[in-house]
Structures are given as structure tokens and as C-alpha cells.
Structure 1
Amino acid sequence: MTKPVFLLVASFPDSLIKFRGPLMEALLAAGCEMHVAVPGLDAGSDIALRLSKLGVVIHDIPLQRTGLNPLKDLSALLVLRKLVRQIAADYVLGYTIKPVIYGSLAAWLGGVRNRFALITGLGYAFTGEATGLRKLLRALIQQLYRFSLSRNRLVFFQNPDDEALFRQLNLLKPAIPSRVVNGSGVDVAEYALSPLPETPSFLLIARLLGDKGVREYAQAAALVKQRFPDVTFRLVGWIDDNPDAISQAELDAWIAAGSIEFMGKLSDVRPAIADSCVYVLPSYREGTPRTVLEAMAMGRAVITTDAPGCRETVVDGRNGFLVPVQDVSALSESMIKLIENPEQVAAMGARSRQMAEEKYDVHKVNKAMLKEMGL
């Protein structure tokens, strides 16, 4: 009996091992022949070597993660259609905007029966006020989603708010079923419980984008340090190629003022989480934030926003605090509350770990996804 051929379509090589590694392992264990299509993956890179060692076949595709060049996007679609026919794919799953759109269309045009999409968040086009370029971009992406998602057998979402919005905007037609899964999950063995440091410290890990709440974090840090100058506020991340990116000048100003300790991009965030007491993500909207799940698994209290995707991870007052989006005052007050009550930090961290084990264990999430895909 031949193995079913499964193609995973991605836009960013770094996400393959970190976010989809356990899913690929689960698919391989289920007896699939595993392929990935992704742009810009260097054949000699650590990611490529690790994928090859797993037994995953890698295909380079000319897909631009950002940008609106229709000719280049059409080229990527045609390459993907050719690929699904060439490998005789039985299953195709795309995640993030362009892989969902063009992966779904390529699978449909290529005659693949089992076509799936995973909506991991809504991104720049859906957050913030819809004016100018963002308004145009939002309209275009909605049209592309509406057309491509109707070609899928099932669409996965990472929170109920995104699912409801897609239904409300008719981006997902009533005839197409959908399921909500608990994010990408987290390996609770890899992100093991870690003792709290003695000195109060906060941490944010994110691409340095406005809609990740990076500015609000820096502003709240400056306010809190006026009362508690010894408290540390660390920031892990990088300036991304995105219209909403923080400028280098802004970042330099925060560092010079002493409000933020910038750690750059880390290949392993566990030491940074271990050195923190509280994890903070003031994001405007997420799918389900993976960094929050990692911090929860390591036993950290969480302050995040009462926004789609984020609110799923925190029971307000139990494993952390929920604050309104873009509310620097509420954010700083929650930080101060935890600085003044270290015993609450420990109790909330213990509850975070329990929630990670019960709800967000990556093996439970992947098992649910494979079952829905008939594998």
C-alpha cells in the first residue's frame, strides 16, 4: 500500500521547525510521505538539515511573504500547481495568508481531494484602522480568501473570534466546515517548568511591529521604572519587513532611555523566559500566540490584551491579567500589581503551567487536527 502524500505550504522557513515540527512528526508517524513547499530555505541551513533528517522532502517555491506583485503571486501559484501534480499530493495544508490562498487554489487546480487551510491569525491587513493602503489591502485579501477558502474541505482556526469574523464577512461560505484548535500547541516537555528569578522582571518576545503592542510595552516600562527603577523589562525580537514595523530610531531611543533591555533575535527563547517573572504580550490581535504558550508552559504569569487569540490564554485574575488593547495605563497598573504581590506571580505561574498541560499540549492539538483530516 502506497503512503499518502502530504504537502505543507509555508511562507517563512523559520516557522517550519518551531511551529510545525511536531505536526510534521505526527504526520510522518501516521504513515504519510511528508513534503514542504517554502521560499528561501537554504539547502545547507540548520532548518533544511533538520527537516531532511526527519525524512521531509523540501521544495523551493517563488512565493513572496510580503508584497503585492500579482505577476509574482501568479508565478508562485503555477509552480505550486505543478508541484502538487508532480508529487501526486493527496493532502495539502497551507498556513499564513499567502500559503492559505495560493496553496488552496493550487491544490484545487491540481486535483487534490483533501484540501485544508489553517488560519493562524489575521495579520497587518486586518488590524488597525482601515484607511489608505491598509483599506485596499484588506479588501483584496478578503476577496482572495473568499475565493480560495471555498475550495477547501475544512478550514482550521486558532480562536473562535477569527472563525466568527470569517463567517460574518462571508469569507468562509456556510457550506465549508471549520474547526477551532488550541493554537499551534506547545511541547510541555521541551518548555519545562522553570523556577522564578528573585528579582522582578518582565519579558516580551515578538516581531517588532506596532500591532504586537511593542510601543505600549515600552511606554508602560518607562512608567513603571519611575516607581521601581530596579525592575527589568526585556524585549526579544527583530525589526520585520512589514509596513507596521517599529523604526530602528524608536528602538534605539527606548534602549538609550534605559526603559528596555533589548536582547535581539534568539534561536532559543527558553533562557529568556527562565530569567523573567512575568510574560507580557500587548498585541492587538493574534491567532493563538505561541510565545504566550511557551511562557505558560514554563510557569509564568501572563499579562496580555482582551483581544482575539490573546484572551483565550488567560483567565483574568487566575493565571494573569487581561488589559484593553492600546491601554498603557492599564498595562502598567497590572505590572505594578504583580511587582507588589510576588506570591501572586508564583500562584499564577503554577496555573499557567496547568493550563498548558491540559489545553495546549502540542500532541493533543495535533491529534485533533489529524483526526479532522482523516489521518
Structure 2
Amino acid sequence: MKVCLISQNVSPGILIFRKDFIRYLVLQGHQVFAFAIDYTMDTEQMVRDLGAIPVSYQLNKTGMNPFLDIRDTYLLKQEIMKISPDVVFSFFVKPSIYGSIAAWFAGVPRIIAMLEGLGYIHTPTSRGVSFKKQFLKRVHGALCTLGYAFADKVLFLNSDDPKDLSSVALLSKKKLDVLGPIGLDLDYFQYSKPDLNKPVRFIFIARLLAEKGIFQYLSAARIVKRDYPNSEFVVLGGLDPDNPAALSKSELDKVIQEGIIIYPGHVNNVKEWIDQSHVFVLPSFYREGVPRSTQEAMAIGRAIITTDVPGCRETVVEGVNGFMVPPWDAECLADKMVYLIKNPDEIIRMGESSYQMAHENFDVKKINPELAKKVLGSL
């Protein structure tokens, strides 16, 4: 079959999140067309190396200009018609909506949308939900009502998202389906035992945004370092200077100079940094699907501290492979860190539980056939 995958960005959308699925489809004999808005010559070649065909299209990914969106949807429809695919599978917020509409007008027989987390609009803050976000939630709900009406199936990664989206959108329940985590190549993310002879190291991997919990992580690190100065705190993630809720460069420089964190900048060997750490920490209150970084840390065998919010809570069984803390609570986060410093054997036990959970729930070799059934259907 001809299968179009419509992503927003080539990375992580195509080259990280869909890489294993593309390989699976190609090995099954399907022709895969990978749509993204930001291809370069290098990333086009990377997609070809996976066995897929890169296709560039345009999408105003954050704007709310309806005329631009209508134009982009029309142009996307034209690109889809050139291919005449059997299936269109679109994901991320705007592509899942406009990709479904474009595919229907292009006459595609089967249309699948996936929403991998409700995202920024549905993310509350410690002060609640602003009027602007309330308005945007209604707009998003209206667009989902329209766009997903054209889809045959709408996939989610956790059970909270379809319930919460249904509060602002009119969705056909028979179309909604919870897939669960996208999964990992567990042959690559292999178990490594934490070295308890080294200082306990906590690692944070995410964009340096308030919603991802970076400020709570830094506050907790300050608290812990006062009594346990040998403990280590690693931050992997990029700055976002255009985002008002992001950690600023001056704030980052300050905590580096104070010796609060280790910040190596951009790295290509994230797995090795997890290997060298003891505990993975993601105090996010962002509306995640199921965070991939947490899945990777679990597969490698790390204890997890995360928040009791949709998406994140799917990765922890309290006291078994880690802890869930309330969002925005740096003191509670610090308490859990101190507990693991005082009880290093728990780091090993919880890490082994994470490893077992990853093999039960995150194995891409098990998940890809199930995802393919949902996407390809009986065509």
C-alpha cells in the first residue's frame, strides 16, 4: 500500500518518533511517504535511508490565521492527490486536524489521526488556566470537532487525553482509540546497572521550559545540594529564547556558575548520559502523551521521579519503579531525591522494576504491529 505519514517536523516527528514504524512498514512491503515542513538535504537523505520518500509541505505550525490554514490545507491536498495513497496517517496537533481534512478532500480511502498529548493549550499553571488558554482550548476543540470528523480513527497515547478533549470537542466515541506508548527499540536502549560507588546523579532531559518542570528541578537541586553537596544534577535540553516561559540564558549561566548543575550543551549521546546517571527526573506539568525520554530511562534501568499528571503518570507505579510528586512542588521533589540518596539500594531495585516495565509496555517490536493494524485497517 501507499502510506502517507504527515508530521509537523522531520525531527523528532519523523526521524525519532516514527523511525521504527517507517522501517516496519517498509519491511512489510508498503511504500511510505514522509511529509514534514522543515526538510534539509541531510534529513531528506536520512529519511531515504529508512526506505521512505521525503515530501516537503508547508504549514503555519503555531499561527491562527484561518486564511493561511485554508491555503496550506488546499496545498497539502494537492500534494496528497499527486501520490494517491491508500492511507494517510497524520500526527501532532495541527497536522492531525488539517492532514485529515486534506486527505478527505483528496479522496483517500483511510484516514487516521493521532494526538500525542494535548500540548500547551491544555496545560494548566500553578495559577490555574488563563482566560487566553480557556479561549484557545475552545478554538482547539472546535477545530478537532471539524478535523476529526473526516478521520476514520483518532488515536491517543493515554486515557486522559480523549476524556479531556471530549469536554471541548464533539467527537465520535467509536472513532477514539488509546494506543498507549509509541515504544522504543529495546535492543538499542539496553539495561545498565547504576554505579553506586559514584555520587548519586539525577538527570533532567527536556526542553528548558516552565511546563517541563525545569524551575522545580533547579529549585529541588538547590535544596538537595545544601545537605548533600556531592550529589550531581545534569540538565540536557535546549533554550527557547522566544518562549516567555522558558529558562533564560542568564538564569542557566547562573546555576552553572554556582555549581548547581552540569550542563554539557547540545549532545548526540543522550543514552550515554542516562547510563552515567542514577535517577531520571521529569517534573513536567505539560500535557504529555507518554514522554519518550522517560521510556528511554526506564529501558536503561533507572528509577523515575515524575509528576502525577496525564502522560507522566503512565510511567510510574508509586514506590515500585519510582515516585510521583505533585506538579509545582519542588520541596516534595527534593524529599524524594534525598530518600534515594539515603537509600541507594532503592535506586537499583526501582531501576530494575523500570526495566521490567519497559520490556512489558514499551517494546516497539510488539507495538508496531498493533499500530499498523490500527493505521492500515482492513484495506
TM bucket (normalised to shorter chain) is: over 0.9
Q: Counterpart amino acid of 2:96?
A: V
Offset of residue 60 of structure 1:
1.0
Aligned counterpart, 2:303 = 301
The reply on whether 1:83 has 2:79 as its aligned counterpart is yes
Aligned counterpart, 1:275 = 276
The within-5 A match list for 1:128-207 is 128=124, 129-174=128-173, 176-197=174-195, 198-207=198-207
SS at match of 1:195: coil
The change in CA–CA distance for 1:66 and 1:280 in structure 2 (over 3 A counts) is: same
In 1, Cα distance between equivalents of 2:246 and 2:35: 27
| TM-score normalised to structure 1 length | 0.94
Unaligned runs of 5+ in 2: none
The answer (yes or no) to whether the contact 1:167–1:173 under 8 Å persists in 2 is no
The reply on whether 1:9 has 2:6 as its aligned counterpart is yes
| TM-score normalised to structure 2 length | 0.93
In 2, Cα distance between equivalents of 1:14 and 1:219: 31
Residue by residue, what CA displacement relative to the aligned partner does 1:102-144 show, whole Å, maximum 9, x if unpaired?
Answer: 1111111111121111111111111023324433332222211
Residue by residue, what CA displacement relative to the aligned partner does 1:194-228 show, whole Å, maximum 9, x if unpaired?
Answer: 12133200001001111111110011011100111
RMSD between aligned residues: 1.6
Q: Percent identity between the aligned chains?
A: 36
Q: Counterpart amino acid of 2:8?
A: S
In 2, Cα distance between equivalents of 1:109 and 1:244: 38
The answer (yes or no) to whether the contact 1:104–1:116 under 8 Å persists in 2 is yes
Q: Counterpart amino acid of 1:13?
A: V
Aligned counterpart, 1:341 = 343
Residue by residue, what CA displacement relative to the aligned partner does 1:322-364 show, whole Å, maximum 9, x if unpaired?
Answer: 1111111110000000011110000110111111111111121
Q: Counterpart amino acid of 1:336?
A: V
SS at match of 2:150: coil
The reply on whether 1:288 has 2:290 as its aligned counterpart is yes
The reply on whether 1:320 has 2:322 as its aligned counterpart is yes
In 2, Cα distance between equivalents of 1:68 and 1:256: 40
Q: Counterpart amino acid of 1:83?
A: E
In 2, Cα distance between equivalents of 1:191 and 1:234: 19
Q: Counterpart amino acid of 2:4?
A: L
In 1, Cα distance between equivalents of 2:170 and 2:217: 33
Worse-superposed segment, 84-93 or 164-173: 164-173
Aligned counterpart, 2:55 = 59
The change in CA–CA distance for 1:171 and 1:349 in structure 2 (over 3 A counts) is: farther
The change in CA–CA distance for 1:64 and 1:262 in structure 2 (over 3 A counts) is: farther
Count how many residue pairs are aligned between Structure 1 and Structure 2.
369
SS at match of 1:94: strand
The within-5 A match list for 1:348-359 is 348-359=350-361
SS at match of 1:202: strand
The answer (yes or no) to whether the contact 1:120–1:183 under 8 Å persists in 2 is no
In 2, Cα distance between equivalents of 1:172 and 1:265: 41
Q: Counterpart amino acid of 2:223?
A: L
The answer (yes or no) to whether the contact 2:181–2:361 under 8 Å persists in 1 is no
Q: Counterpart amino acid of 2:367?
A: V
The change in CA–CA distance for 1:171 and 1:266 in structure 2 (over 3 A counts) is: farther
Offset of residue 157 of structure 1:
0.6
Aligned counterpart, 1:213 = 213
The change in CA–CA distance for 1:69 and 1:268 in structure 2 (over 3 A counts) is: farther
Worse-superposed segment, 265-274 or 355-364: 265-274
The reply on whether 1:232 has 2:232 as its aligned counterpart is yes
Aligned counterpart, 2:122 = 126
Offset of residue 71 of structure 1:
3.4
The change in CA–CA distance for 1:69 and 1:256 in structure 2 (over 3 A counts) is: farther
